[in-house]
Structure 1
Amino acid sequence: MDKIEGKTFGQPANDIEKQWLLDRLKTLSVREAYQLAAMMLTTGRLREVSGKEGDELLLAVLKLDRKETAESINRLLSLSDYEVLCPAGSYEQLGKYYLRYEAELPEAAIPYADLEQIGFRYEEQHPGVFIGDCFVVLPSRAPKQIYDGTNLDKVWEMDWSLRLRLATPAVPKGVWLCLPDHAATEADGRLGEIALALRELKAASIQECDLLEVRCSIPGLSILPDDYEDLEDLIRDGNDLGFLLEEQGQGMPDFMERFTAALEYEGCHRLKEALDIAENLNCYDLMQADGIELYGKEELTKLGVFQDSTLQDCIDAAGFGEALLEQRGYRLNAAETTYIRRNDREFQHLRTQPKQGWDMTMK
């Protein structure tokens, strides 16, 4: 009993909110558990649902009223504001962490430093709390209210790409790992998402783990068991997707709308194909659906239609614009917010081979 009953469509928003909250709490990574513990200790928020599993968690979520549920969603969306430093479970360890990873003091000089005093000073400059053998730096600002009570379907979570539930013989139920893991790109000993998960699983490497479950932040993308023979390859692609989401196409306007529209246009449901599409978004032309009437008027003006006073206000500009876009190869996405088409730029396949039936421009 871990699913809130109700139809997929047309159910009250409150049920949708609580299902989102339930799913997120069930899939917290080891690192996010430290972040949540720090939030709970310093703000008192989410105490009602923290540390619970199964039916107990479900009942706790169901007891939340509408305001509490919305606030809990915003709190969980702000977990990335809490910075987890590990290993740093004491002032001495915190001082060593600072010298090694932030001040980048030569290793030979560390034994001569007053590590405890440095740890005290670091805490004064970066207020936080010790959780286990980690130090969690608290946010300097109040959390953003991303969710306003009505826009849950439009809330894009840019701080993660994949959630993997990994298991070992020592921990058969498994733990969750959230990608991207920035520490994975640094070979300096910091414990990030992967290292924290491996420690919890009592494993020395990813090769010792079994993949039990995968969640993706992009609707429509799925990971099948046959997609990846090597778990490290899946983690690598998950990291790449996460970094792409964070960079937002290096500042490309309307990146997420363009990306999701392109995925739908290509009928893409696989991660490697999605990564190729994300790297080739310049191969797609977009037009906002709410601008269709203006587009139609502009095209009619080019044809000189409005020079004839008899035709004023007698032409359906929106209908003309829509027909013209379809003629020019545009398709309206399922949400009816965007028209999209492939242009003639060459599509660079970096991870996949062109599928039969894809446009000839995809080479």
Structure 2
Amino acid sequence: MMRIQANIYADCHEKLRGYQGAMLELPATPYEISDALQRARVPEGGGYTLESTGDWPDFLWTALSNVSPLSGENALEELNLLADAVSRMDEIQTGTFEGAVQLHLEETGKNPTLKELINISACLDDYEFHPGVTNDLSLGRACMEGGMLDLVESLPDEVAALLDPAKVGKALRHSDHGAFASRGYVYRGVSAARQDFYDGEHPPACGEHHKGLLSLRIEKLDAPDADSGVWLELPADEKALGWALLSVGEKTFDTCRIAEAKSIIPAFQYQLAGDEDIGKLNKLAKRLQKLQQEMPGDLMLMKYKAVLELEQYSDLDMALDIAANLGCYDFSPDVLSPDAYGEYVLQSAGIDTGDPAFSCFDFRGYGERLLEGAGYVFTPYGAVTRGGQECVHEYTEQEQESGQGMAMEQ
């Protein structure tokens, strides 16, 4: 399976010791993009740079290297659009795309921009592609065998037999204004001019968009179709819950299962499936909504995700109790790496960490020991620790051993 990735680096943290940005697998949902920007600590409205990695076709590696660095307000959404298009292409479409990119280069003398790559990928039906035809000789032979050039088709057989296939191919290529690529020959078909898919300012929606903080695809337990069911956006009122049941033809969620989940909290997408309690999930979504409404909402959700990592979130009950007890934890989102924290402490004490004496100093190990000594755990969202306030356990049972936080008894 194709894996395309992007590494995201906030411009304001680029030179910070130990800063590694964040990795995002593409194509991604809006929630996943937002989470990646949080992990990269890109401030709202702040600049960032992308580094593309993964299983791009070879010709796109070349094209993307020519538009590097990938930066700008819409860079991540643009790269996501391109990755989404490429992920859905079969071999013929990929070959057509490569030829169309080569055609653009030959016509303009310039490598396509990311905007142009997106627009080319969206109009592949405007091109004709002949796989395996990679030079004038093979094109000429295909032409003479298949009647691709009217002039050759009108010649007597004994005259056509005397023609040089390479010259015929060259004539056809010039006539078509076509181009060769590694997979075959491409030229524009006869079609009306198509409006650009992307205007360069407002990236079109990519993939499925869900409005719920938790979005569940509900289906019958015995559903035969893998893509059956209905999406339920949580939090939901009684009317929305009833409509979902009516849509799948059931009277209770006990005879349904969760086939798929999407969430503003990435960890939930892969664990909330099967026979989870819909009522509890709806309560969790309401608690997330309440966190989101607190000021600043994004910071509260970052804290929640950090605490999930601290407590090694394992089930729905724990997720519910953590959401109701965030006040029991201290969170420092400004800790971007143990290395940077260690250097910050030294600099705060008036020590010049730029001195050659620190050229081999283990800033990371020093920062980790400092954080551990203060009771903090470093997560991709910042440093977090359990505070002195006692948590209220509504769904989980507190461990007998002190300091176990939300951990459930086994």
* TM-score category of the 2 structures, normalised to the smaller one: 0.3 to 0.5
Q: Which has the larger radius of gyration?
A: 2
TM-score, normalization: structure 1? 0.47
TM-score, normalization: structure 2? 0.42
